[in-house]
A and B are shown apart, each in its own frame.
Chain A
Amino acid sequence: MSAQTSVASSHERVRPSSAPTGWQGWVLVAPFLLCFGVFSLWPLLNAARLATQQTYGPGFSRFVGLENFSQLLRDPMFWTALKNTSSFTLLSVLVQMPLALGLAMLLNRPGLRGRGFMRLILFSPVLVGVVFTAMIFAVLLEKRTGLINIALHQAIGWDLDFAWLERGVMSSLVLATAWQYTGFNMVYFLAALQTVPEELKQAARLDGAGPWARFRHVTLPAIRPVAMFVVLLCIIGSFQVFELPYILLNGGAGPDNRGLTLVMYLYQTGFQTGDLGYAAAIGWMLALILATFGIAQRVLASRHERMKGGTGGGA
C-alpha cells in the first residue's frame, strides 16, 4: 500500500502542475481550430463541392460531377492562362533569384559602407502594396513619357513609342514583380549566407578554390535549403498573380490575352461570367499545381537534410 502511494505521488511530481490535461488542451487550441475551420477548411470543402456544380450566379446550381474539370482540360483559355502564368513564374524565378542572391552576396561583405541603408532601401518595395506598385509601373511604362522608355532611348536609342503594356506585357509584369520582391528574397538569402561556415570558406581558399569554385562548393550547398524555400515562395506567389496585371492592364487581360493569368481567369469566370462552379474547378487545379511544387520542395529538402545529417561538425 505504501509502495503504491509513493508511486502515485512520484507520478504527480513528474507532471508539472501547470501542464494542461485532456479538455484543457482542447480549450487552448480551440481559437486556432475555430479560425482554421471557418476561414480555411470550410471554404476549401465548399470549393470542392462547388467544383462539381454548374452555377449561374449564386441562385442557380446543378450537379455535374467532374464535368467542370474535363471541360477545363479542353478549354483553350485555361491553357492560355496556364501557359502565361507558367512563363511569368519561370521568368520571375530566373530574374529574381540570381538578382536577390547577387545582391545578398554583395551586401553580405563585411566592411561595406552603407550596408544597412542599402539593405533597407532594397527591402522597402515589399512594404508598398501591389496596387501601388502597379500604378507606379503604369506611369513608368508609359509610351512617350514613361521613364523606362526615356532611359532606354537615351542609353541605346530605344523606340520611345514602344507600348510595353501591349507588346511587352510579360516583360512588364516580370519587371514590376522583380522590383517589388527581389529585396524581400534578398533578405532570406542574406540570412542564409550568414550561416555559411567561415572555416569552410577559408579551407576552400587554402585548397586553391577561386571565387566561383568557392561559391559552387561552399556557399551554394550551404544555402541550398533556403534557396529552395525562396524559389517555392516565388513560385507560389507568381502562380497567384492577379492584382498586378489586373490594374496594369485596366481590368483586362491585355491584347490577345497576353496578360491572362490563372487567377485572373478564375476571377473572370466566377465573378464576371458568374460560373462559380467552373471558377472553383480552376481554383482546385491551381491548388493541385502548387501542392505538387510544395511536395517536390519537401522531398528535396529532406534529401538534403539526410545528407547533412544531425551534427554540424562536418559543415
Chain B
Amino acid sequence: MATVQLSNLSKTFADGTAVVRGVDMTIPDGEFCVLLGPSGCGKSTTLRMIAGLEVSSGGRIVIGGRDVTDAEPKDRDVAMVFQNYALYPHLTVAENIAFPLAMRGVDKATRARKVREIATMLELDELLGRVPAQLSGGQRQRVAMGRALVRDPKVFLFDEPLSNLDARLRAQTRRELKALHARVRITSVYVTHDQEEAMSLADKVAVMAGGVIQQYDSPLELFRRPTNRFVAGFVGTPAMNFVEARVEAKGEGKGQAAGAQMVVTTDLGRMRLGAGSGDGLKVGDVCTLGIRPTAIDVRRAVAGIEEEGEHAGVAQGVIESCDLLGEVSDLWIRCGTQAVLARVRTQDWMRSGEACLVGMPRAEMYVFEPGSMGKRLSGGESGMSEPRGAVAAALA
C-alpha cells in the first residue's frame, strides 16, 4: 500500500500534441481515486504514465515515497487491469493468475497456495482449469483482477475495466469491486468516462479535460459544487441545463446582502436570482446560468406557477419529447429558442405537444462565468439538490 503523488506530470507526443499538462495530485494510501473525463482528455495517458507504459515528458511520479518516474513498469510494484482484460489466451485461469509470481521466481508451492487463496476470494475455484476463451466477460474480468491481486501490489490501476460488460453485469461487478477494495484497501487509480461509475466507486474523483485536472474532489462535492461549467455539465445524470444570461440589475451594498438580488435576462425570460448570486458580476456582464434537470418544476399550463416566491423565473414551453423512464420521465421542453431538459415524476398529461410552465427554483440556480470552462460564481450553497420538480409535480 502506498501514497501516489503526481507532480507537474505532463506528456507531449512526438507530433507536439500535449495530452497531459501539468497534472498535480496526491492519492492517499488506500484511497480509491477515479480519473474521469471524455475521450482524449488525457486520463488514460496519465494512468499509463503511472504504470510506466508511457514515458512522461515532464514531472515526477512518486509511489510510496519512492520516485519511480524513470523506473521500469515491473519495478514500480503496480498491477493493472486492462479494458480487454489482457489474459494470456493459451494459459489456464490458474496459470494466468500465477503468471506474475512465476515471472518473479516464486516457488511452485507458494504459487499454488496463492492462486487458491485468490480463486476463493474471487469465486474462481471452479474455473481454474479453463482457458480464457471458455469464460464469460465477467469471469475474465475476475481473472484479470486475480492476476493483479496475486502479488500484493502497492497500487492498483484500472483502465476502463467494465466497459466491455453489459449494463447488468457492469453494475454487479462495480459492487464487487467496491467490496473488494473495502477489504484489501490497496491504493487504486481507476480510469473511466462513465460518471456514474466514477461517482459510485470513488473516494475522490479527478475530472479531466484538455489534459488538465479541472477538479479533484469527493463525488458529492463535484456534484454539489462543480468548480466550472465543464464539471457541472459532465457530472450528474442527466446533464445540467445551461442558458446564456446578461446581468440587467444587481442589488448594491454588501452589507445588505440579504436583500440583494441579481436580475438577468435570458432566452427563458427574465430571472431574479437569490442574494449573493454571480459574485463579481456587474450590470451588463454576460454569464451562464445552470440548473439540473431534476431541480426543474414542470406544471401543466393551466395549473400555473407563482412567479414570485421560490422561483427565479417561470417560462412558458411546449413539450417536444417525453422519454418515459418509469416513475420519472425526461421531458425536452422548447421555451422559445431554448430547449430545456427536465426529469420529473411521470404524469398522465405529459405528452409531446402539450403546453407547460417551467419553473426554476432560485436555490437551485448556478451562475458561471461565460465560456465552456467558465468558473462557478455561485450556486450549490443550499446543499444536495432534491428532485424538487418531481416532488412539486407530485404535490400539484
Contact = CB atoms under 8 A, between A and B. Distances in A.
A313 B10 CA distance: 31
A203 interface: yes
B73 interface: yes
A205 interface: yes
A314 B85 CA distance: 7
Contact of A208 (B51, B74, B164): B74
Nearest to B51: A206
Contacts of B234: none
Interface in B41-97: 51-53, 72-74, 78-80, 82-91
Nearest to A214: B103
A149 to B, nearest CB: 46
B52 to A, nearest CB: 8
B73 A205 contact: yes
Given A207-B103, A209-B103, A313 B164 contact: yes
A202 interface: yes
A221 B90 contact: yes
Contacts, number: 87
Contacts of A313: 84-85, 132, 137, 140, 164
B133 A308 contact: yes
B131 interface: yes
B53 to A, nearest CB: 5
A202 B53 contact: yes
Contacts of A288: none
B11 interface: no
Nearest to A213: B103
A44 B133 CA distance: 42
A314 B74 contact: no
Given A199-B82, A206-B78, A313-B164, A308 B73 contact: no
B121 interface: no
B147 interface: yes
Contacts of B52: 205-206
Contact of B131 (A200, A310, A314): A314
A98 interface: no
B370 interface: no
B99 interface: yes
A197 B90 CA distance: 14
A90 to B, nearest CB: 26
Interface residues of A, number: 26
A207 B51 CA distance: 11
Nearest to A310: B133
Contacts of A199: 82-84, 86
B135 interface: yes
B168 interface: no
Contacts of A200: 86, 88
A199 B133 CA distance: 17
A315 interface: yes
A217 interface: yes
Contacts of A205: 52-53, 72-74
Interface in A296-315: 307-315
A280 interface: no
A301 to B, nearest CB: 14
B5 to A, nearest CB: 20
Residue of B51, B74, B90, B135 contacting most chain A CB atoms (<10 Å): B90
A221 B88 contact: yes
Given A208-B100, A314-B140, A307 B79 contact: no
A221 B133 CA distance: 14
A206 B79 CA distance: 7
B93 to A, nearest CB: 10
Contacts of A311: 133
A72 to B, nearest CB: 42
B104 interface: yes
Residue of B79, B89, B132 contacting most chain A CB atoms (<10 Å): B89
Interface in A218-250: 218, 221-222
A310 B133 CA distance: 7
B237 interface: no
Contacts of A308: 89, 133
Nearest to B164: A313
B89 to A, nearest CB: 5
Contacts of B84: 197, 199, 312-313, 315
Contacts of B100: 206-208
A312 B85 CA distance: 11
Nearest to A209: B103
B131 A307 contact: yes
A107 B334 CA distance: 59
B135 A314 contact: yes
Interface of B: 51-53, 72-74, 78-80, 82-91, 99-100, 103-104, 131-135, 137, 140, 147, 164
5 contacts: A199-B83, A206-B52, A207-B74, A208-B100, A315-B89
Given A206-B79, A217-B99, 10 more contacts: A199-B82, A202-B51, A202-B86, A204-B99, A206-B74, A207-B99, A208-B104, A221-B89, A307-B90, A309-B134
